[in-house]
Structure 1
Amino acid sequence: FLKDKPQEATIQMHRALIDTVLEDQETDTFVSESERIQLEEKTNRQLRLRELLLQYSKNASLIVLSMPIPRKGIVSAQLYMSWLEMLTKDMPPFLLVRGNQTSVLTFYS
């Protein structure tokens, strides 16, 4: 399911979202074309996840989801935020959870 290519409409929706932050020499906050191409597979995974959430969780009271983990220096803040926007746009209430890969267990005896 998740490895399937997202629908063209979903890809176009994301493209319209990031068109405003594609490489622009006037600012230093942008998504470069090389970054977009390099991370296309990861972007498509997030877009496909959006489609699955719409299909299976559109009527949920709350969606709880682990946030995608950005790689510092690999994924720009703008591209990462576009992933989060696509995951949560027009969805029921969303709780994005992020940990630090440390196991935590609280036990009272």
Structure 2
Amino acid sequence: MTEFQSRLHDLDSCIENAKKERLNLMIENYREPLNASLLNTLFLNEKLCIASRDLLSTLDDIQTSLKSINRLLDDDSLKLQGIAFKDNNSIIENSIDQQKVVLNKYISNLQLILSVQRREDDVDA
């Protein structure tokens, strides 16, 4: 299992535990049947939000690595070979920047959905 797969597995375990804990807390607080579909949607959105943040962090790590590679390629002995690598790295970095913008918007939208849903749940309670 790779480190990333291991982190995802740990994340899944944490989310499952949080789900159970939140469900227990909600049942204790409201003492009424809960809408399972709504809960599943909430938990899925929270899981997607966390996974998106992890992906954003991974993209940052990749971008940092690419910048480090570019600095190494500035060495005079690697100049000729480094030009092609630097061009490719620049393309990848630009693509990562675009993906980060999309991910940040996605995370913001998910957080908005979650906060609205929580407010609605609080009003209904």
On whether the aligned pair clears a TM of 0.5, the verdict is no
TM-score by length of 1: 0.32
Q: If you compute each CA radius of gyration, which structure gives the higher value, 1 or 2?
A: 2
- The structure whose residues are more often helix, as a share, is 2
TM-score by length of 2: 0.30
- The structure whose residues are more often strand, as a share, is 1
